[in-house]
Amino acid sequence: MGTDVQVVSDARAVIANPEIDIVVELIGGYGIARQLVMEAIEAGKHVVTANKALLAVHGTEIFAAAHRKGVMVAFEAAVAGGIPIIKSLREGLTANRIEWIAGIINGTTNFILSEMRDKGLDFDVVLKEAQRLGYAEADPTFDIEGVDAAHKVTLMSAIAFGIPVQFDKAYVEGITQLGAQDIKYAEQLGYRIKLLGITKRTDKGIELRVHPSLVPMKRLIANVEGAMNAVMVHGDAVGTTLYYGKGAGSEPTASAVIADLVDITRLHTADAAHRVPHLAFQPDAMSDTPVLAMGDVVTSYYLRLKVADEAGVLTKVTGILAETGISIDAMLQREADEVGGEGSTQTDLIILTHDCVEAKMNQAIAQMQALPTVLAPITRIRKEELA
Each residue's pLDDT tens digit, 313-325: 999 999 999 999 9
Does the pLDDT value for residue 1 go beyond 60? no
Report the candidate in 113, 122, 114, 112 with the shortest Cα–Cα distance to residue 180.
122
Q: How far is CA 256 from CA 86, 103, 142, 152, 330, in A?
A: 10, 18, 22, 15, 43
Residues 184, 182: Cα–Cα separation, whole Å? 5
What pLDDT is stored for residue 141 in this prediction? 96
**Would you call 213 exposed, middle or buried from its count of C-beta atoms within 10 A (0-12, 13-18, 19+)?**
buried
CATH 3.30.360.10 domain locations along the chain: 88-246
Q: Does residue 281 have a pLDDT over 70?
A: no
Kindly tell me if the per-residue pLDDT of 99 is higher than 60.
Answer: yes
- How many other CB atoms are found less than 10 A from the CB of residue 121? 16
Give CB contacts under 8 A, 24+ apart, made by 285-290. 285/162, 286/162, 286/163, 286/164, 287/161, 287/162, 287/163, 288/163, 289/161, 289/163, 289/205, 289/206, 290/205, 290/206
Select from 3.40.50.720, 3.40.50.1980, 3.60.15.10, 3.40.50.150 the CATH code of 11-82+250-285: 3.40.50.720
Rounded percentage of the chain residues whose pLDDT exceeds 90? 78
| Segment 178-200 mean pLDDT | 96
Architecture per CATH, 299-383: 2-Layer Sandwich (3.30)
- What pLDDT is recorded for position 106? 96
Mean pLDDT of 330-340: 73
Q: What does the pLDDT average to over 359-372?
A: 97
> Is 194 marked active-site?
no
Residue ranges matching CATH 3.40.50.720 in the chain: 11-82+250-285
Share the mean pLDDT of the chain: 92
Sheet strands side by side (includes 22-25): 22-25, 46-49, 73-74
- At 5, is the pLDDT very low, low, confident or very high (cuts 50, 70, 90)? confident
State which CATH number among 3.40.50.620, 3.40.50.850, 3.30.360.10, 2.60.40.3500 fits the domain covering 88-246.
Answer: 3.30.360.10
271 vs 337 pLDDT, higher one: 271
Confidence of residue 231 (pLDDT cuts 50, 70, 90): very high
Cα distance between residue 319 and residue 354, in whole Å: 15
pLDDT at 194 over 70: yes
pLDDT, mean of residues 51-70 = 93
What is the pLDDT, as a whole number, of residue 77?
92
Q: Which of these ranges, 67-76, 93-102, 158-167, 276-285, has the smallest mean pLDDT?
A: 276-285
Catalytic residue among 45, 52, 152, 194: 152
Query: Which residues of the chain are in CATH 3.30.70.260 domains?
Result: 299-383
- pLDDT given for residue 94 in this prediction: 87
Instruction: Answer whether 56's CB lies under 8 Å from 155's CB.
Output: yes
Mean pLDDT value across residues 195-215: 97
